[in-house]
Structure 1
Amino acid sequence: MQPLAESTPVHSRRTTARHGPSVKWFLLFWVMMIGFGIYAVYSYTNHLKQQVLSELSTQSQQQLTVLKTDYEAKIAVLSSEVKDLQDTVQSFNELLTFTKDNASAKTDNSNKLYTQLSEVRKQLDVLKKKMDLLK
């Protein structure tokens, strides 16, 4: 009967010896899988972040281009209006100079031309202010 008693403890030691390393490998495997999962999630979120940033950059660049073209169009319109007003002021100034030279005491045309010239200058100042605001 003694041989049976000796075989039982040896058998139980083999079982614990076999299960000990397999449990360690199993836990190591799961720890590594969790680590790879965390790394994959981190990498994917960084990839999504970069993708969203590049899309936002593209959209903002397109919007800036649209704003720039609108701004340039408005500047061109205002510049042409200012040029037209400057030509009008110049012609009024010449007419005023001619009228002053030819005016007699009986006519009051120079005062009318002067008031018209003042109004045109006021309009020119308003347009210049608008142009400065756009710049």
Structure 2
Amino acid sequence: MNTEYQTSVHALHERQSRRKSGPSVLVFLFVWIILIGTGILGAIWYSGKIKQSITLEVGQQTSQQITAMQNGYEAQLKQLEAQFKGDIAKLQGKVDALNELLEFSKDNASNKTDNSNKLFTQLSEVKKQLNELKKDLDVLK
């Protein structure tokens, strides 16, 4: 049989055990919340570091690709410029030849053959000089 004293001691003991378990649950919850918070903060910090690293790598790759493209375009432009200069020089030669032909045709169409025909006049002068050189050569022999 339980006495009233034993019952009150037993009730007091239960209260004390409840009080002891109460703070341990609070400590457990507090530690658990701190661990979860630390994990979240660590994940945020790590993802920031990875984001910064990836951004830096992508920036470097983009810069390298842009430089390579610029070099390629510059090389193509230089090649095209050289090709165009050659084509222009050829075309200029053809234009000059055509101008000479037109000038010769214009001179021949005129009534004044000796005065207006520049090419004929120049050929005459060359023939005269050639004849003079032949005479000088004959004298030297």
Q: Which amino acid aligns with 1:20?
A: G
Shift of 1:67: 0.6
Shift of 1:64: 0.7
| Separation (CA, whole Å) in 2 of partners of 1:77 and 1:2 | 112
Answer yes or no: is 1:43 the counterpart of 2:42.
no
Shift of 1:2: 4.0
Give the alignment partner of residue 82 of structure 2, picking from 71, 77, 80.
Answer: 80
Q: Which structure has the larger Rg?
A: 2
Q: TM-score, normalised by structure 2?
A: 0.68
Shift of 1:81: 1.0
Q: Which amino acid aligns with 2:89?
A: D
The corresponding residue for 1:65 is 67
Post-superposition Cα deviations, 1:17-52, rounded to whole Å, max 9, x if no partner, equal 111011011011101111211221122122212211
Shift of 1:4: 2.4
Answer yes or no: is 1:31 the counterpart of 2:20.
no
The corresponding residue for 1:4 is 6
Q: Which amino acid aligns with 1:101?
A: E
Shift of 1:54: 1.2
Shift of 1:83: 1.2
Unpaired segments of 5 or more residues in structure 2?
110-141
Give the alignment partner of residue 96 of structure 1, picking from 95, 98, 103.
Answer: 98
Structure 1 runs, 4 residues or longer, greater than 6 Å off = none
Aligned residue for 2:50, secondary structure, equals helix
| Separation (CA, whole Å) in 2 of partners of 1:52 and 1:2 | 75
Shift of 1:5: 2.6
| Separation (CA, whole Å) in 2 of partners of 1:87 and 1:24 | 94
Shift of 1:89: 1.6
Unpaired segments of 5 or more residues in structure 1?
106-135
Post-superposition Cα deviations, 1:108-127, rounded to whole Å, max 9, x if no partner, equal xxxxxxxxxxxxxxxxxxxx
| Separation (CA, whole Å) in 1 of partners of 2:65 and 2:4 | 92
Give the percent of matched residue pairs that are identical in Structure 1 and Structure 2: 28
The corresponding residue for 2:119 is none
| Separation (CA, whole Å) in 1 of partners of 2:4 and 2:79 | 114
The corresponding residue for 1:18 is 20
The corresponding residue for 1:108 is none
Post-superposition Cα deviations, 1:41-85, rounded to whole Å, max 9, x if no partner, equal 122122212211211111111011001000000000111111111
